[in-house]
């Protein structure tokens, strides 16, 4: 085949889609605490997306016990040149330590600013605060995720654990047995699958943003 024929063929064939690399910046929920590697959040999410036809790699940037401050400290080297998009799922350990919401908010904003500077779209996954810290704390914590997502044009999911909370509303003891590890804090493999099923469509939107469509 001559050069002209090769050139003509290249012009009519669709360009091959490029693999989209997504870094998942988070804590033990992202890291897959207590689970086999293949049962963790990032592995199950990648499998779910690949099964739906996406050419995607999910990088596990979760660190067990990490706070929003830890995420901010790590975001610079998480956003390597090959990262096309980022999931940010932090705040649970801030809650456990009763860190003031204004501090958590500033850390999350720093993460979003770093992503914006790198030209990387973000899916910001929140959590809902319990009422035991008082209504002002709860309101400030819950509001920071949608407000920051709006300010920085990020995609937003209200709560990482929403599918498990919904299951618990129907049958708390049954949900604990079916979806949670023995510590009652971290999801088991079935619980992660439920979370992935709920988050997956929003990650597909993130992929579309990363691909520029």
Task: State the catalytic residue, choosing from 54, 84, 104, 186.
Answer: 186
User: One of 8, 104, 183, 213 is an active-site residue; which one?
Assistant: 183
- Give the C-alpha separation, 184 to 201, whole Å: 27
Distance CA 17, CA 208 (A): 12
Q: Which residue has the tokens 């390597």?
A: 80
Respond yes or no: is residue 39 known to be catalytic: no
27 is catalytic: no
Please answer whether residues 179 and 187 qualify as being in contact, where contact means their C-beta atoms are separated by less than 8 angstroms: yes
Q: Which of the following is catalytic: 28, 84, 94, 104?
A: 28
Tokens of 212: 């520029």
* Helix ranges (DSSP H) in the chain: 3-12, 28-31, 41-51, 68-78, 92-96, 101-118, 135-152, 162-170, 172-179, 189-210
Residue 55 annotated among the catalytic residues of the structure: no
Angle, CA of 133, 105 and 67, to the nearest 5°? 75
Q: List residues with catalytic annotation.
A: 28, 183, 186
């Amino acid at each position: 085949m001559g050069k002209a024929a090769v050139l003509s063929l290249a012009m009519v064939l669709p360009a091959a889609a490029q693999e989209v690399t997504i870094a998942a910046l988070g804590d033990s929920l992202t890291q897959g605490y207590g689970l086999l590697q293949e049962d963790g959040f990032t592995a199950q999410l990648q499998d779910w997306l690949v099964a739906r036809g996406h050419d995607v790699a999910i990088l596990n940037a979760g660190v067990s016990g990490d706070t929003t401050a830890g995420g901010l400290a790590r975001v610079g080297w998480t956003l390597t040149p090959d990262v096309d998009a980022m999931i940010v799922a932090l705040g649970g350990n801030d809650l456990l330590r009763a860190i003031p919401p204004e501090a958590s908010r500033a850390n999350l904003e720093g993460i979003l600013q770093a992503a914006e500077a790198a030209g990387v779209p973000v899916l910001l996954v929140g959590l809902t605060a319990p009422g035991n810290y008082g209504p002002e704390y709860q309101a400030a914590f819950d509001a920071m995720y949608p407000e920051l997502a709006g300010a920085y044009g990020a995609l937003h999911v209200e709560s990482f654990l929403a599918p498990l909370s919904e299951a618990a509303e129907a049958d708390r003891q049954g949900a604990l047995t079916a979806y949670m590890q023995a510590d009652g804090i971290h999801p088991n493999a079935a619980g992660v699958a439920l979370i992935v099923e709920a988050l997956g469509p929003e990650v597909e939107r993130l992929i579309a943003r990363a691909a520029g469509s």
